[in-house]
Homo-oligomer: A and B are copies of this chain.
Amino acid sequence: MTIERNARLRAVRSWGDYFHFSVEAPAVGRGARPGQFVMVKVDDCTSPLLRRPLGIHDADAGGIELFFKVAGAGTGILSRKKPGDRLDIIGPLGKGFTVGDGLKGKKAYLVGGGRGIAPLFFLGRALAAAGARPAVFYGGRTAADIPLCDKFEQAGFELHCSTDDGSFGFSGFVTALVENEIIRAKPAIVYACGPDPMMKVLASITAKHAVPAEFSLESIMGCGIGACWGCVHRIKDGTGDGWVKICEEGPVFPGERILWL
């Protein structure tokens, strides 16, 4: 958990509304685990006022990578940064995905919808390093929403793509594609990040097929460090359920603990 006020933007790639940043930030990169996130200050201006949470797309000792979609003012300002510009980021934050030793040799399905693909590259790399056999399911509304297909393929991942409109890969929701594959070959675990409706469907699919699953949740965040109680989601614990802070106890939760509202 470092404040890196002077992280140099090394390189920018973009595909329409989607942007990939490579950022020099050794202290953040060194500590990062898959599923964690950073809080990025987009501007010195007080509007937008708050930092924006972005998943860690990849990390090494030199820094981190980010992958984001322009969703509004904050990500819009961010998208106009140029290589050489400085970013002010805090991270790594939150608890990531569980990459257990027990996964060695086993299949793991990684399901990303749209910008939700962001943390799954880093996760896939970690799984492969741990000896698991990751397969990535990457869905979007249309072909333009899944720009990272090449990157995943080049990195040697088993990749299944889908588009809602059938413009690329499987035609239909990525959840249907995943269910087909679960039926064909049941994985040891499913990891997912994407819009709530997608994850809600996936939660019922994994429950139905009794596959353990972990989901990375989203919320508007005030602080990202557990201080404001702004980012809560309904989560079950031992005795009951309550509003749990995503930034601190998440953003990743086991499927069976999440109450979808």
Contact = CB atoms under 8 A, between A and B. Distances in A.
A129 B247 CA distance: 68
A46 B45 CA distance: 9
Task: State the majority secondary structure of interface residues on A.
Answer: loop
A45 B47 CA distance: 6
A188 B213 CA distance: 87
Nearest to A46: B47
A4 interface: no
A46 B43 CA distance: 13
Contacts of A46: 47
Contacts of A45: 43, 45, 47
A78 to B, nearest CB: 14
Interface in A30-52: 43, 45-47
A47 B77 CA distance: 14
- CB-based closest 4 A-B pairs: A45-B45, A46-B47, A47-B47, A45-B47
